[in-house]
Structure 1
């Protein structure tokens, strides 16, 4: 074998005398060897067994990634709560330098995307995630030593660098274990962690504010508590996090086979692939859908500093003290959690409504933003309510779009690449976002609100509509010739029909499963239908 066999192009695939494409096992799905050993001896899943399997999936996988993502956002929001616990006074930060360190977090986040993507595809996910969490824990604890702007800036940059690939790993883990319908429905409530993080964080901060005669500063106590929780999660990940379904300790061999079957048959995509495929990387770069998602995230995330500014906005309004702003944040997060649950339930009940769900939940922040800048300054209650409405649920469109950017493509390297480009857009939007909240514009911050209204809540949703229109057109074209396409692909790749797939009706179901093993992209596999 060549030393470059780990990076192979499509042109390197062999062709038999009969014209079939022969795919080397290294280029196939990482679960192929496991399935060759256990697939034939595993019976079809019965209805009651599938119900039990779903419960186990949600209890083990969903709860694990949910908890990791919750801590991710709790750690990210440390400065927002430290700011009302005396952090500014002890480190000399101002509104402008606070914005700068928030920007530096996302500079690190952007820098880490593509190196992180490469490492995530080459290394076992459990080992990589454990290293990231251990590093992330150390950085959180080091926040306690910060005493000036330079120290805080360095810590935030490296925290962003460390956290940059965690979310793609979690999204990819969800795609390994859940079928397409479950994943689309679960994502909004999974990402309630980013909107609901102020609930546990706010209560912790509220408790810390009641500590009297402490020997160290309150913000340091708060940071130590959050860092301790992250340390505990590091141990849990090291012991329990699966690399893919074949290594999930809490499932039997039979259950692992069932998980792989149902995911491959309903998504038509590979589960995991440890070979970085250059041609898939290039295809992701050249596919304009990738860049439409990128543009959406840049524009939409211009509003993402609003939740972090919220506590400071409340204090700047007067009449809302640190305790009050903390409780308002908790209440707002509770509202966003309920909204995310409603979005999840609606997407579970009705298929292919992701775009329209995202558009619907874009309305509250749009209305809230317009109202927040339109109401007279003396109407503090009205402004407070609209700030809460604007800042709490715009995460739902972000969540749906992030999941959609991954599920609307196939091919492991291409999917990871698109996720990384999407999160690069997310990082760029967040690099810019703190800078639009200028100290000189206080207390109303009209320029920041105008940017959010026009770009984040106006133009960004239009991009989602355009993506929906283009992908819907591709689906219509593919459905017209689906039988011929599957026959052609079956002959080209010499797909077998030795197993009836129990998770999908129709004679073509096993062809789709076999194509999934080949790790083709959505443009190579013309039978792939885009979720809408």
Structure 2
């Protein structure tokens, strides 16, 4: 209990950068406060009525019309760029560039090596620059790299380009998750997150599949895989232009909302999360706390174990071919699998939305079909080709639900902007390491059954992550019980203080503010309730 009571002493902080408040004399130092604090101080007087159900619904619909489709489009392009070489398998890449199956697997590992090495520098840059513009520039760089891949004529050239593509893609997934945290509360994210993630198993698969299907009917002097990359590069360019004009860095910069709506949205998110929205200053103590918090390491372990399965998306076309499915047939099976995955994720959305505190259970439910499909791949006789194709579709299109539930959970259970960033980095480190390892478990000399690969995935990707999910749930549930008791005993605990320096008299004036504006971590802020 003494640890909880000491929280009161931590709420009184001194801020460093000078920002003007609603006074000609008083100034507050704001580099350690939420970046939206200045906007609130300048425009709060324009809000004459509190947030009503009608105004909340109006704001939500604007976000669904402007922001959510943009994020889904970027995520779709992300997965199209990432999986372009897997479609190249069907479109003549192996023959033109003269690479083997093992070299193809190495290219996937190289991509995630770049992804891993890009985590810290790209996060470091992102926290200092305009969020929206940085994402748009990154998209443009993808476009250039995709076009350059068309010119690659050997294995060495592909290695360099895949490494660079991975490096520059490394920040986008964490950035999209942070944007969702900035604009939506926990209940809204529970509904939006799985729908948002359907773009990696639905639209991206449909678009890639139908383009491939069309190109397989095309006779051209240009290789079909190169035409595919040109189309994807063009879509990436258009997305980067759209993002430049629409993508907001935070709710204060969301031009599709009125000033009043921005103020109401900021207040809503801060009041309901008791956490800051954006912070441009890196706080070393929050980095230290992130590394000391066992929850951070549990999420890293979750990403590391669950994503050993992820390379199935790059192996699928090779496996379909080995089962006697034609190139044309493979594109159609991929599209059908994407449709099945979308329906499965929507079912997960409904479950999360209806059942409170259900994330750990979603992780369990998400693992069961993939586990069944994987077991089928090693137990069903090889002459039962149709059954094996069905098991492959099941294994390759359902495991994403568990990961999707965890990736949003990892950031929503951290408070303090720097701590969120580094929690993200740790999660993505696990994700990258798993995806570097994953292609290497598929060895050409183990074809066509690949028993070792399937065995590794069954144990590591479908059992261990479920155990980790429930351990996280138990720890956070215990913390919440302590916090609810603290809040009940300390009704003023949702407010903190900042010191305002009067520039004329030199006196210090204490200003009472919402605790969410102080950018405290979840371990400092005992009013922060962990979503379960």
TM-score (ref. length: structure 2): 0.91
Q: How far apart are the structure 2 equivalents of 1:423 and 1:136? A: 19
Please report how far the alpha carbon of residue 134 of structure 1 lies from its aligned counterpart in structure 2 after TM superposition.
1.1
CA RMSD between the two structures: 1.8
Runs of 4+ aligned structure 1 residues displaced above 6 Å come to none
Deviation string, structure 1 residues 40-88 (Cα, Å, up to 9, x no partner) = 3202133222212111111111111010001000110100001110000
Structure 2 unaligned spans of 5+: 1-9, 16-26, 500-511
Q: How far apart are the structure 1 equivalents of 2:12 and 2:516? A: 19
Match for 2:288 among 282, 291, 304? 282
Partner of 2:503: none
Partner of 1:354: 359
Structure 1 residues 23, 475: CA separation in 2 closer, same or farther (over 3 Å shift)? farther
Partner of 2:218: 211
Please report how far the alpha carbon of residue 458 of structure 1 lies from its aligned counterpart in structure 2 after TM superposition.
1.0
Partner of 2:236: 230
Partner of 1:419: 424
Q: Secondary structure at the match of 1:493?
A: strand
Partner of 2:530: 530
Q: How far apart are the structure 1 equivalents of 2:272 and 2:419? A: 19
Please report how far the alpha carbon of residue 344 of structure 1 lies from its aligned counterpart in structure 2 after TM superposition.
1.4
Are residue 402 (structure 1) and residue 399 (structure 2) matched?
no
Q: How far apart are the structure 1 equivalents of 2:64 and 2:388? A: 39
Are residue 253 (structure 1) and residue 231 (structure 2) matched?
no
Q: Secondary structure at the match of 2:282?
A: coil
Is the CA contact 1:105–1:160 (under 8 Å) kept in the aligned structure 2? yes
Please report how far the alpha carbon of residue 180 of structure 1 lies from its aligned counterpart in structure 2 after TM superposition.
1.4
Partner of 2:457: 452
Is the CA contact 2:14–2:498 (under 8 Å) kept in the aligned structure 1? no
Partner of 1:200: 207
Q: How far apart are the structure 1 equivalents of 2:225 and 2:284? A: 47
Matches within 5 A, 1:300-379: 300-318=306-324, 320-379=325-384
Partner of 2:471: 466
Q: How far apart are the structure 2 equivalents of 1:382 and 1:362? A: 20
Q: Secondary structure at the match of 1:530?
A: coil
Q: How far apart are the structure 1 equivalents of 2:283 and 2:80? A: 35
Q: Secondary structure at the match of 2:236?
A: helix
Is the CA contact 1:195–1:393 (under 8 Å) kept in the aligned structure 2? no
Structure 1 residues 95, 51: CA separation in 2 closer, same or farther (over 3 Å shift)? same
Partner of 1:175: 181
Q: How far apart are the structure 2 equivalents of 1:486 and 1:107? A: 49
Deviation string, structure 1 residues 161-182 (Cα, Å, up to 9, x no partner) = 0000011111111111111110
When the two structures are aligned, how many residues end up with a matched partner?
Answer: 498
Q: Secondary structure at the match of 1:39?
A: helix
Structure 1 unaligned spans of 5+: 1-9, 16-21, 496-510
Please report how far the alpha carbon of residue 148 of structure 1 lies from its aligned counterpart in structure 2 after TM superposition.
0.8
Q: How far apart are the structure 2 equivalents of 1:475 and 1:66? A: 32
Deviation string, structure 1 residues 367-415 (Cα, Å, up to 9, x no partner) = 1101111100011111110011001011111111000000001000000
Is the CA contact 1:109–1:161 (under 8 Å) kept in the aligned structure 2? yes
Deviation string, structure 1 residues 285-328 (Cα, Å, up to 9, x no partner) = 1111101100111111100001110111010122x110001100
Q: Secondary structure at the match of 1:216?
A: coil
Q: How far apart are the structure 2 equivalents of 1:399 and 1:352? A: 15
Please report how far the alpha carbon of residue 478 of structure 1 lies from its aligned counterpart in structure 2 after TM superposition.
1.5
Please report how far the alpha carbon of residue 14 of structure 1 lies from its aligned counterpart in structure 2 after TM superposition.
3.9
Structure 1 residues 416, 340: CA separation in 2 closer, same or farther (over 3 Å shift)? same
Partner of 1:4: none
Q: How far apart are the structure 1 equivalents of 2:334 and 2:440? A: 22
Deviation string, structure 1 residues 110-149 (Cα, Å, up to 9, x no partner) = 0000111111111111221122111111001111011111
Partner of 2:497: 493
Is the CA contact 1:181–1:351 (under 8 Å) kept in the aligned structure 2? no
Structure 1 residues 494, 33: CA separation in 2 closer, same or farther (over 3 Å shift)? closer
Q: How far apart are the structure 1 equivalents of 2:171 and 2:277? A: 18
Is the CA contact 1:485–1:527 (under 8 Å) kept in the aligned structure 2? no
Q: How far apart are the structure 2 equivalents of 1:47 and 1:295? A: 40
Range that drifts further, 183-192 or 76-85: 183-192
Are residue 72 (structure 1) and residue 47 (structure 2) matched?
no
Partner of 2:127: 121
Match for 2:159 among 153, 161, 182? 153
Q: Secondary structure at the match of 2:463?
A: helix
Match for 1:112 among 85, 98, 118? 118
Are residue 439 (structure 1) and residue 437 (structure 2) matched?
no
